[in-house]
């Protein structure tokens, strides 16, 4: 099996975790799924030799793990700074900026205590990651990000409906 096929298999598992994530009502369950999903996606990008995506997804996995318990603004700022520095250090193409933007927006989202703000920020950040996946040439990552958007929208709708 080639590295490419292995990367696509890992991304497929991450897809399942992403779809599950936004169907949970409890914030910490959403974030726990995202810890595993982003770890697998990081390995996926390593196998595709996409340094920026790999590094930023690894950082995202750590960020989600920490944000399960803590929503402090200082941590949010720290992880945004880490994403910016890491993005500059591993930038290998202009499209690395898409990954950096997506990472920063999803960092903001992860540290939001309020569900709607978290989900809307995730939505916008995912659009940047979708563009990155398209340019990086990973069909499963493209599907993953598109399904993540869809799942997030469904979860947002369900969450809003449960408030009424």
The structural domains of the chain, with segments of one domain joined by +, span 3-163
Check residue 28 and give its pLDDT.
Answer: 87
Cα–Cα dist 138/41, whole Å: 11
Q: 10 Å Cβ neighbour count for 45?
A: 26
Q: What is the pTM of this model?
A: 0.84
- pLDDT tier, 56 (very low <50, low <70, confident <90, very high otherwise): very high
Q: What mean pLDDT is predicted for residues 53-81?
A: 93
110-159 tens-digit pLDDT:
888 787 888 899 899 999 999 999 998 888 889 988 988 888 888 888 87
2-43 tens-digit pLDDT:
999 999 999 999 988 988 887 787 888 988 999 999 999 999
Check residue 132 and give its pLDDT.
Answer: 92
Would you say 119 and 152 are in contact if contact means Cβ atoms under 8 Å apart? yes
Q: Which residue has the higher pLDDT, 23 or 52?
A: 52
- pLDDT tier, 108 (very low <50, low <70, confident <90, very high otherwise): very high
Check residue 24 and give its pLDDT.
Answer: 83
Instruction: Give Cβ neighbours of residue 28 (< 8 Å, ≥ 6 apart).
Output: 68
Which residue from 112, 25, 103, 106 is spatially nearest to 68, judged by alpha carbons? 112
Q: 10 Å Cβ neighbour count for 1?
A: 6
Distance between first and last Cα of the chain: 50
Check residue 20 and give its pLDDT.
Answer: 86
DSSP the chain: --HHHHHHHHHHHHHHHHHHHTT-SSHHHHHHHHHHHHHHHHHHHHHTT-HHHHHHHHHHHHHHHHHHH---HHHHHHHHHHHHHHHHHH--STTHHHHHHHHHHHHHHHT-SSHHHHHHHHHHHHHHHHHHHHHHT-HHHHHHHHHHHHHHHHHHHHHHHHH-
Q: Which residue has the higher pLDDT, 102 or 93?
A: 102
Q: What mean pLDDT is predicted for residues 64-79?
A: 91
């Amino acid at each position: 099996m080639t590295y490419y096929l292995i990367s696509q298999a890992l991304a497929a598992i991450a897809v399942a975790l992403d779809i599950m994530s936004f169907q949970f009502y409890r914030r910490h369950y959403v974030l726990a799924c995202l810890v595993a999903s982003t770890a697998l996606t990081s390995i996926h990008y390593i196998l595709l030799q996409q340094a920026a995506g790999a590094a930023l997804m690894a950082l995202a996995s750590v960020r989600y793990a920490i944000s399960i318990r803590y929503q402090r603004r200082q941590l949010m700022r720290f992880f945004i700074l880490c994403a910016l520095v890491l993005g500059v250090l591993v930038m290998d193409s202009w499209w690395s900026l898409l990954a950096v933007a997506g990472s920063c927006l999803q960092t903001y989202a992860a540290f939001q205590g309020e569900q709607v703000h978290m989900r809307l920020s995730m939505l916008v950040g995912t659009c940047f990651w979708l563009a990155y996946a398209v340019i990086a040439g990973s069909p499963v990552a493209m599907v993953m990000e598109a399904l993540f958007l869809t799942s997030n929208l469904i979860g947002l709708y369900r969450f809003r409906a449960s408030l009424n």
